[in-house]
Amino acid sequence: MPSGRRTRRKLHFSKIYSFRCGRAAFRQDHSQIGGPGFSRVVYCNEPDCFEAGIRNYASNYVQSTKYTLATFFPKSLFEQFRRVANFYFLVTGILAFTKLAPYSAVSAILPLIIVVGATMVKEGIEDWQRKQQDIEVNNRKVRVHRGRGVFEPTEWKNLRVGDIVKVEKDEFFPADLLLLSSSYDDAVCYVETMNLDGETNLKLKQSPEVTSNLHDDGDFGNFKAVVKCEDPNANLYAFVGSMEFEQQQYPLSPQQLLLRDSKLRNTDYVYGAVIFTGQDTKVRQNSTDPPSKRSRIERKMDKIIYLLFFILFLLAFIGSIIFGLITKDDLKNGTMKRWYLRPDDSTNFFDPKNAPLAAIYHFLTAIMLFSYFIPISLYVSIEIVKVLQSMFINRDIHMYYEEADKPAHARTSNLNEELGQVDTILSDKTGTLTCNSMEFIKCSIGGTAYGRGVTEVEKAIGRMKGSPLAIDKTNGFGQLISPNPTTKGFNFSDERIMNGNWVSEVHSDVIQRFFRVLALCHTAIPEVDEDIGKVSYEAESPDEAAFVIAAREIGFEFYQRTQTSITLRELDTKTGKRVERVYQLLSVIEFNSARKRMSVIVRDDEGKLLLLCKGADSIISERLSKNGREFEVETVEHVNEYADAGLRTLLLAYRELEEGEYEKFSEKFNIAKSSVSADRDAMMDEATEMIERDLILLGATAVEDKLQNGVPDCIDKLAQAGIKIWVLTGDKMETAINIGFACSLLRQGMKQIIIGLDAPDIQALEKAGDKSSISKASKESVIRQINEGISLLSSSLGSSDAFALIIDGKSLAYALEDDVKNMFLKLALGCASVICCRSSPKQKALVTRLVKSGTGKTTLAIGDGANDVGMLQEADIGIGISGVEGMQVPF
């Protein structure tokens, strides 16, 4: 672990502003804390104060069951009597207690009780299993501050908004927490969000600087702060607010929010303040109540029962009319036609003087008598078959996942038969189609392409063409390159730069800078195995992990990180020996989806100030200096080739800085970071723009997101079976397209219909900030693009052209509006493949609902995180790959 951890500096609270509830000093107007629109106020370390109590925030108890003890019987009975046969037998059972019944009431009601009871028992057992999971989650323990610097173990369900908690390594966060400090001096921590978004890579979080020195339990004895932030919402990646501490306001961002169900990794402990609890947490905001799903066969059985019931009703009705006519004539002309019924001394059942009433009684009797026409035992037989099928699924050795030691598990047996009737599959990408495990496979440095590996896309193309190189390639000397890498994250092979051979290359200085950028421009943390001296890495993204591993394998080993320095072990070209070089880390300008780049500013051992940058090709290219474009043409050509091979690419560049230039940037950047105004992001962008310019291009990286085993063949077979496949992912468009090619969802020659909102006029409106104009123009643009796509499909009728629809999250928001969604569905159904990028969890659910209702055919959804729960519940069948809290889906 990095050195310099856990210096124990005590806070002096003599100047801490008193936030005690009830004091005059506290009764101030907090309307300005966090800015306009922020209405949630959290009194940190004072969950019992009066102001906190009147806000009546949700408890931290969560429930994912379909029933409760109070609602089980009414809701379950309602579910059972939704079946028309059960309702019919309920009616006949009630009539059996009257004198009309041709048999005893017991013989009518007992089969119904057995059938309904058996099904209710099955439902109860399945829901009890969900309840057990809820009990286990709600009774987990976490250490909570109880005054005087004492932290006591408390069950999750007892947490309140404002509590200060201490979460230790490898524990889950019990609620949405504001990170206050961690075991690291710079108050960073690493979080695994697999239960939220399916990604196994770690996310870096960092506390506000003002609370970063709260390192001990005792430091919280007198800690008080007020947080004002946005109301609970479903956006996993957004959080806006501010914290008032020691009479100062400090801005808050998603960087400080730890979400419930994510796990603390590579950090001994963190302290956090509870901001959202229970149903208010973001993971629960993205979930919905477990739906009541019925299979198509069951609904079809109801229709058959309706038909049988109609025939039964018709027989009883015709028979009753005839019976009434005959009864009316029983005493006609003084004779008794049916003397054995004694019509002269009859009750209402056979009274000739009241023949219509006798006919009605006869009709009710016939309804009961013909009840055996309705096969009530069929439901029991089907329920037994379903239970047996689910048992087979749970014990299917071919569906056992050995790596995670998890078998398949049918959470409910109601939908087994639906699996054979699927028309459309809607799937998440990361962790579902792919392993979310990147491998460094190729690179372009100084205009020269390196790396002889073969990608999944190249293999797929080779198989289609019948090429023998679809499986393996040689390294140019007749030696076969193994398709299976020996080092995780590194599938690169090129004798020209491996084993130190790069020093003999023409542009060896460029190669050196290239791999230094890979080894320095990141936020990864090294872990050294003391026994063997092997260095491994924990990174925010699998891309970063692949980069630092590649640098290490080439000879630029990232070895140690502190708050202010990064240490590398690299080859000294003068002496030919490995040396240790320490780079002073001055600034980290983080990557985000808007910037599409990341930079670090370091000072090397020669005193030079260097800005090292990596980012998307479109972003880096426009920031190159005139003298920094020497290899641009060749690099762009290689990047295009890598994209065609299904690889994710980034450009690498650098520049030297002047001292004065850096100082001016640093001052402006720090002011922007500490700002609480609405223009904070714009101020930060302005600061970074002044430094991330005049770059010198070094080259490009190409990494491959490995697919799950058998994905391309599986998708190909599903397509041959006529099953449509939609991919709904939170990834950016470029990544989704690459994976689409790799898994055979997109194929060479397929025409792409891309719908996005990156047109210059839309971007100009976004910079202007007029929300109404942006919304209007964006919607018009989306409608226009959809109509153009429909026209393109219409003009291609009769041709063999295949189309793929690719749409981003912003456009999807407008495409799903009521007056546009039918047009969007028409376009999508005309395409062979559909990819929805940057989709939010609710958008995934809405798309699934649209496909399900618009086609009227069976839909199946597959996901691996809590952000997929809505999609799984909306589909006819939901398959969850990981057993996360809240993923109580029907299958």
Least Cα distance to 556 among 612, 632, 628 occurs for 612
Q: What is the pLDDT of residue 634?
A: 94
pLDDT-based confidence at residue 451 (cuts at 50, 70, 90)? very high
Does domain 24-60+159-285 fall under CATH 3.60.15.10? My reply is no
Helices within 645-759 (DSSP H only):
659-673, 680-689, 711-720, 733-742
* 3-class secondary-structure state, position 326: helix
Residue range 647-672, pLDDT digits in tens: 888 999 999 999 999 999 998 988 88
Q: Which residues of 861-872 are buried (b: 16+ CB within 10 A; e: fewer)?
A: bbbbbbbbbbbb
Cα separations in angstroms, 516 against 2, 449, 509, 657, 703: 20, 18, 11, 17, 17
Q: What is the pLDDT of residue 201?
A: 64
Q: What is the pLDDT of residue 886?
A: 36
Query: Which has the higher per-residue pLDDT, 692 or 383?
Result: 692
Q: Per-residue pLDDT averaged across 794-800, rounded? A: 79
* 3-class secondary-structure state, position 144: strand
Classify burial at 201, counting beta carbons within 10 Å of its beta carbon; exposed 0-12, middle 13-18, buried 19 or more: buried
Fold held by 436-663+693-704? Calcium-transporting ATPase, cytoplasmic domain N (3.40.1110)
User: Rounded CA gap, 744 and 645, in Å?
Assistant: 12
User: Rounded CA gap, 700 and 703, in Å?
Assistant: 10
- When mean pLDDT is compared over 105-109, 320-324, 341-345, 478-482, the highest value belongs to 320-324
Q: Per-residue pLDDT averaged across 304-323, rounded? A: 88
Q: What is the pLDDT of residue 36?
A: 42
Least confident span in 12-16, 269-273, 414-418: 12-16
Question: Does the structure show a pLDDT above 70 at 10?
Answer: no
- Which residues contribute to the annotated binding site for Mg(2+)? 428, 430, 864, 868
- Sign of the Cα torsion 453, 456, 461, 464 reads positive
Q: Per-residue pLDDT averaged across 821-839, rounded? A: 90
User: Rounded CA gap, 741 and 309, in Å?
Assistant: 53
Q: What is the pLDDT of residue 784?
A: 92
pLDDT-based confidence at residue 883 (cuts at 50, 70, 90)? very low
Question: Does the structure show a pLDDT above 90 at 566?
Answer: yes
Query: Which has the higher per-residue pLDDT, 102 or 350?
Result: 102
Q: What is the pLDDT of residue 405?
A: 74
Residue range 516-548, pLDDT digits in tens: 999 999 988 888 877 777 888 877 778 888 999
Q: Strand runs (DSSP E) across 590-739, as ranges? A: 597-603, 609-615, 648-657, 696-707, 724-728
User: Rounded CA gap, 832 and 720, in Å?
Assistant: 11
Q: Which two tokens stand for residue 327?
A: 């009864």
Cα separations in angstroms, 706 against 79, 197, 298, 456, 777: 44, 18, 40, 8, 39
User: Rounded CA gap, 824 and 827, in Å?
Assistant: 5
User: Rounded CA gap, 588 and 602, in Å?
Assistant: 9
* 3-class secondary-structure state, position 645: coil
Task: Assess whether 428 carries a catalytic annotation.
Answer: yes
* Length of the chain (residues): 891
Least confident span in 62-66, 174-178, 474-478: 474-478
Query: Which has the higher per-residue pLDDT, 889 or 265?
Result: 265
Residue with tokens 């695994």: 192
Q: What is the pLDDT of residue 798?
A: 72
User: Rounded CA gap, 735 and 693, in Å?
Assistant: 25
* 3-class secondary-structure state, position 45: coil
Least Cα distance to 556 among 516, 602, 608 occurs for 516
Q: What is the pLDDT of residue 293?
A: 66
Active-site residue, selected from the candidate residues 176, 428, 705, 808: 428
Q: What is the pLDDT of residue 7?
A: 35
User: Rounded CA gap, 517 and 872, in Å?
Assistant: 41
Residue range 205-227, pLDDT digits in tens: 889 888 988 888 888 988 999 99
Question: Does the structure show a pLDDT above 60 at 682?
Answer: yes
For the sheet containing 188-192, what is the strand order? 202-206, 188-192, 263-265
User: Rounded CA gap, 521 and 874, in Å?
Assistant: 42
State the amino acid at position 538 in one-letter form: E
Residue range 544-559, pLDDT digits in tens: 889 999 999 999 999 8
User: Rounded CA gap, 381 and 474, in Å?
Assistant: 60
Q: Per-residue pLDDT averaged across 350-362, rounded? A: 80
User: Rounded CA gap, 17 and 12, in Å?
Assistant: 12
Q: What is the pLDDT of residue 97?
A: 85
Paired residues of 538 in beta bridges:
525
Mean pLDDT of the chain: 81
Residue range 123-150, pLDDT digits in tens: 888 788 888 888 998 999 999 998 888 8
Contacts 24+ apart (CB under 8 A), 301-304: 301/85, 301/378, 301/379, 301/382, 302/83, 302/84, 302/85
pLDDT-based confidence at residue 173 (cuts at 50, 70, 90)? very high
- Which residues contribute to the annotated binding site for ATP? 428-430, 544, 591, 614, 648, 729-731, 838, 844, 867-868
Give the CA radius of gyration of the chain: 34
* 3-class secondary-structure state, position 68: coil
Architecture in CATH of 426-432+708-880: 3-Layer(aba) Sandwich (3.40)
Least Cα distance to 548 among 529, 526, 564 occurs for 526
Q: What is the pLDDT of residue 143?
A: 94
Are 881 and 872 in contact by the 8 Å Cβ rule? The answer is no
Question: Does the structure show a pLDDT above 80 at 678?
Answer: no
Q: What is the pLDDT of residue 93?
A: 83
User: Rounded CA gap, 385 and 399, in Å?
Assistant: 20
Question: Does the structure show a pLDDT above 70 at 37?
Answer: no
Q: What is the pLDDT of residue 354?
A: 78
Q: What are phi and psi of 768, to 5 degrees?
A: -70, -30
Are 331 and 352 in contact by the 8 Å Cβ rule? The answer is yes
Q: So where are the chain's domains?
A: 24-60+159-285, 296-374, 378-415, 426-432+708-880, 436-663+693-704
Q: Strand runs (DSSP E) across 94-252, as ranges? A: 141-145, 151-155, 164-168, 176-182, 188-192, 202-206, 225-229, 241-245, 248-252
